[in-house]
Chains A and B, each alone.
Chain A
Amino acid sequence: MKSFTCFLLMLCSTSLVAQYTISQNSGKLKIIEVNEVTLEGHAGSDIIIEVEGEESHIPERAKGLKLLSPAGLEDNTGIGLSVTKDGTTSTIQEVSNRSDERYIIKVPTGVAIYYECSTHQGETLIAQDIASELEVSANFNDVRIINPTGPLAISTVHGSIEAEFENVNQDNSISLHAVHDHVDVTVPSSAKANFMLSTSWGEMFTDLDLDFGHDDSDMRRVSSNKMVGKFNGGGVDFSIRSTHDDIYLRKK
């Protein structure tokens, strides 16, 4: 009976989620060229990587062999990722280039995150409940940020940025910068911030009382180009930019 339970547990852990753990609760985590990622903040002391969706696509023929990438990366995690550690920095890179798995990476509060993805296979990056610094340098990814409480520096060229704040931490600067797609930000009506909004070709819409413009419509267009506006008397520096598309700034 005992061995049967053991067997069941093993079955559960291997078939439900393929998982890899990096023991790290401070320093930096770099995620380089991993196409589909969901980042989740958690209170644990390890970085935990789980694979969602399709089970491994490794062909039968490749059993017992190691996957190599043209970049010389080696799958040392068993889940299609290469993980290397250098001092206090861990780097995660995707080995296969035809992967369609989404990696869910649970990150402890003390680990700063850097995500970089330049290829057009980059899918939506989701970041949920992240309390540490998050920097994103993306080319094609959309970026969705839910309930961030750490500082943010996000840029993407072709994707959009949408961010929803439960509260705006006064210790952190926030910079959200898209080029060809929109930026949509929701903040609580009590948030304190100095908003710096700018666009070269798009328009800006807001229902926040930023002390400029006299339009009565619900979401009013404030002006084109660049403006600085205090919300609730001002607070943390909060920069939002979309070069070619629109900016939406809402309260909830």
Chain B
Amino acid sequence: MKVDQEMLIKYLLGETTTMENAMITNLLEEDLTLQKEYQELAKIWSELESLPDELPSQKMEHRFTHWLDSMSEVPASRKSSRVMWLRSGRWAAAAAVVLLAGFFVFHQSKSTPVSESRSTVTGIEWVSSPSTTERIQGIYHATMKEHDPAIVQILLKLLREDESDNVRLTAVEALQTFPLTDDIKIGLIQALEKEEKPVVQIALISALVGLSDHDAKPQLEALIGNEDVEKTVKDEAQLGLLRL
């Protein structure tokens, strides 16, 4: 068999058979012209691989953030969205399938380099567990192990939609362990506007005050002025305003 450039490219791309491999390796040792040719190819190939990603301009990211902000629907009344959340009992199964799929894909693609952006797989089946304490435990585990920014979105969702005060309470505490972002800030403030349970209201106030979030002042004032709000919550809001 004649070894030409086409064959060398096949060899470079790892598409040659074991027999061809042996033959090419031998030929490469003997034929210096061929060797030079191959070295050039290999050099180009590895340089190509190490080419860094292109850097888009900053305005691209701003544009996306701005657009997403404008898109994010104001959550409908919590009651109805909670029902949806609970209904998604299929969720657990879904998550399991995704995990399996991820596993499968990972194994299939082992031979080729896995792109760096393939994220760490953290199971989140717990999010839709019918058991309150399992959801709480899920929050503890998810936030203690790693600070995956995706978890922040899960926590904010739980804070908006979970039917259990105890879960919402745990979400508030867990969110405070993340570096403060606008998402977290806005999430906490929006939750305070919607929240009706005193125990969670107080936790939210104390979180916002702890984060020295001056943007929360109007919400605290609104609570103080709201007749439906329990006195103890108003006291907490008053205290918070003094500290801010």
> Which residues of A approach B to under 8 Å, CB–CB?
112, 114, 133, 135, 137, 139, 151-158, 172-173, 175, 177, 179-180, 196, 198, 200, 237, 239, 241, 243
Evaluate contact between B202 and A179: CB separation under 8 angstroms: yes
> Which residues of B approach A to under 8 Å, CB–CB?
131-134, 136-137, 140-141, 164-167, 169-170, 173, 197-199, 202-203, 206, 210, 230, 232
Contacting A137 at CB < 8 Å: which of B131, B133, B197, B203?
Answer: B197
Contacting B133 at CB < 8 Å: which of A153, A155, A156?
Answer: A153
Across the A-B interface, how many residue pairs have beta carbons closer than 8 Å? 73
For B140, list chain A residues within 8 Å (CB): 173, 196, 237, 239
Evaluate contact between B136 and A153: CB separation under 8 angstroms: yes
Evaluate contact between B131 and A112: CB separation under 8 angstroms: yes
In the assembled complex, the CB of B192 is this many whole angstroms from the nearest CB of chain A, namely 15
Contacting A243 at CB < 8 Å: which of B141, B206, B230?
Answer: B206
Q: List 26 A-B contacts (CB under 8 A).
A: A114-B132, A135-B133, A135-B164, A137-B166, A137-B199, A151-B131, A152-B133, A153-B133, A153-B136, A154-B166, A156-B199, A158-B232, A172-B133, A173-B134, A173-B136, A175-B133, A175-B136, A175-B166, A175-B169, A180-B232, A198-B173, A200-B206, A237-B140, A239-B140, A239-B170, A241-B173
In the assembled complex, the CB of B131 is this many whole angstroms from the nearest CB of chain A, namely 6
In the assembled complex, the CB of B4 is this many whole angstroms from the nearest CB of chain A, namely 64
For B173, list chain A residues within 8 Å (CB): 198, 239, 241
Leading 5 A-B pairs by shortest Cβ distance: A151-B133, A173-B137, A153-B166, A237-B140, A137-B165
Contacting B199 at CB < 8 Å: which of A133, A155, A198?
Answer: A155
In the assembled complex, the CB of B60 is this many whole angstroms from the nearest CB of chain A, namely 39
For A239, list chain B residues within 8 Å (CB): 140, 170, 173
Docked Cα-Cα span, A120 to B177, in Å, equals 34
For B165, list chain A residues within 8 Å (CB): 137, 155
Docked Cα-Cα span, A234 to B203, in Å, equals 26
Contacting B166 at CB < 8 Å: which of A177, A179, A196, A198?
Answer: A177
* 9 more A-B residue pairs beyond the given contacts A179-B202, A196-B140, with a C-beta to C-beta distance below 8 A: A133-B131, A137-B199, A153-B167, A155-B169, A175-B133, A200-B206, A237-B137, A239-B140, A243-B203
For B167, list chain A residues within 8 Å (CB): 153
For A152, list chain B residues within 8 Å (CB): 133
For B206, list chain A residues within 8 Å (CB): 200, 243
Docked Cα-Cα span, A155 to B169, in Å, equals 9
For B169, list chain A residues within 8 Å (CB): 155, 175, 177
* Contact A173 B232, CB 8 Å, known A153-B166, A155-B166, A179-B202: no
For A139, list chain B residues within 8 Å (CB): 198-199
Docked Cα-Cα span, A175 to B170, in Å, equals 9
Identify the closest chain A residue to B207 (Cβ): A200
For B197, list chain A residues within 8 Å (CB): 137
Docked Cα-Cα span, A179 to B236, in Å, equals 10
Contacting A151 at CB < 8 Å: which of B137, B170, B199, B210?
Answer: B137
Evaluate contact between A179 and B133: CB separation under 8 angstroms: no
Contacting B132 at CB < 8 Å: which of A153, A157, A158, A241?
Answer: A153
In the assembled complex, the CB of A228 is this many whole angstroms from the nearest CB of chain B, namely 9
Docked Cα-Cα span, A180 to B203, in Å, equals 12
Docked Cα-Cα span, A180 to B136, in Å, equals 22
Docked Cα-Cα span, A172 to B136, in Å, equals 10
Identify the closest chain A residue to B138 (Cβ): A173
Docked Cα-Cα span, A241 to B198, in Å, equals 15
In the assembled complex, the CB of A9 is this many whole angstroms from the nearest CB of chain B, namely 41
* Contact A135 B132, CB 8 Å, known A155-B169, A158-B232, A200-B210: yes
Docked Cα-Cα span, A152 to B133, in Å, equals 7
For B133, list chain A residues within 8 Å (CB): 133, 135, 151-153, 172-173, 175
Evaluate contact between B164 and A137: CB separation under 8 angstroms: yes
